[in-house]
Structure 1
Amino acid sequence: MSRTSNRRGQSVLRIIGGQWRGRKLGFTPAEGLRPTTDRVRETLFNWLAPDIHGARCLDLFAGSGALGLEALSRGAAHCDFVDNSAQVIRQLYEHLQVLDAVSRARLVQANALEFLRRPEKPWDIVFIDPPFGLGLAAPCCEHLQQPGMLSDNALVYVETATGEAPPQVPPRWQCHREKVAGGVAYRLYIVSAG
């Protein structure tokens, strides 16, 4: 797993690939925060390898920033990090400073669903990793189908608990890959143009 603890009671996130491979970043653990494991991230970013370079990304429910930071490390041009916790946003800003990547990111403290109601530049890759058991994945997917939210053939990653039903997704979304690891089910959708 990517999450270990250090002496100060912080958890540690390790970036597993790209320009910051092996870098360790501390973050304060919080209830419900479960960074995507190394194993799942490795599989996901193998799936994304042909598309990640130069991509414009969105990391909803950013938490530790594991997915967005990994995307930037592997060549994404930009990532918007969205989380409703001021502490999370502060920590992510500190990480981006350490990595000299502030100019490649935007940090937004907001409720994910409210954030998705605002017009934005289209994203190429979206990471949806909400707290489990609250039914948040499906409404996020629903908001993302609005015109102009996603680029043509965008990729949307959705992580849920294995006990949860797969989220209802818009008709233009095709499940490209899916896998289960431990208590996590994860899927990558391709959003067809039109």
Structure 2
Amino acid sequence: MRIIAGTHRGTTLADVGKGDASAHLRPTSDRVRESLFNVLQGGRLGDPISGARVLDLFAGTGALGLEALSRGAAHVTFVDSGRVAQKLIKDNIAKLGRQTDSTVVATDARKLPAGALCDLIFLDPPYGQNLGLPALQAAQAKGWIAPDALIVWEENQPQIAPAGFQKLDQRRYGDTWITVMRHAP
């Protein structure tokens, strides 16, 4: 696993092998991450990354948020309840020297504390456990989602945009579905 583009392009991140099933770690593959960021920065959505405040829910290794930092995001808040994931995220932040523009919140994504508005939200819950919608609702209720924020939801099934969100794009990569939505309160 490596950073695909930006200031940290080519940097290898902490290795989790094939993931950690007990910790629900299933890193987004380099290929899917590259395709996702090509969609985000392909022009149709403007430039949702440069200068953005990012919330990375179910952050795992932190690869999505770190890719955003490498491409110009201003700050990323990584949220994960797993100890293994928290260590991987902290190790990867240190490896890239991004401690000043990163925060790690050790909590269940469905039980977020109050937060700062974010422009881009990555939502990558463990597949098939129906955790995405409650986490999205918690982020909205606790003030993390800015008006017009983009939400990138990765799951093993296509997702329907809930009330208050508009689906902009949906793509399948093998067993992974990426749904891009805009917060439209």
Q: Within 5 Å, which residues of 2 pair with 1:155-170?
A: 155-162=150-157, 166-167=159-160, 169-170=161-162
2:17 paired with 1:25: no
Aligned to 2:44: none
Aligned to 2:36: 44
Aligned to 2:123: 128
Which structure would you say has the larger Rg?
Answer: 1
Query: Deviating runs (4+, > 3 A) in structure 1?
Result: none
1:152–1:191 contact (8 Å) kept in structure 2:
yes
Moved more, 133-142 or 66-75: 133-142
SS of the residue 1:145 aligns to: helix
Alignment root-mean-square deviation, CA: 1.6
1:141–1:170 contact (8 Å) kept in structure 2:
no
Q: Within 5 Å, which residues of 2 pair with 1:66-105?
A: 66-105=63-102
1:53–1:75 contact (8 Å) kept in structure 2:
yes
Identity over aligned pairs, percent: 38
The structure-2 alpha-carbon separation of the partners of 1:149 and 1:108, relative to structure 1 and needing over 3 Å to count, comes to: closer
Normalising by structure 2, report the TM-score: 0.88
2:114–2:142 contact (8 Å) kept in structure 1:
no
Quote the Cα distance in structure 2 between the aligned partners of 1:149 and 1:170: 16
Normalising by structure 1, report the TM-score: 0.84
Is there any run of 5+ residues in structure 1 with no aligned partner, and where? Answer: 1-12
Is there any run of 5+ residues in structure 2 with no aligned partner, and where? Answer: 42-46
Cα deviation for residue 45 of structure 1 reads 1.1
Q: When the two structures are aligned, how many residues end up with a matched partner?
A: 176
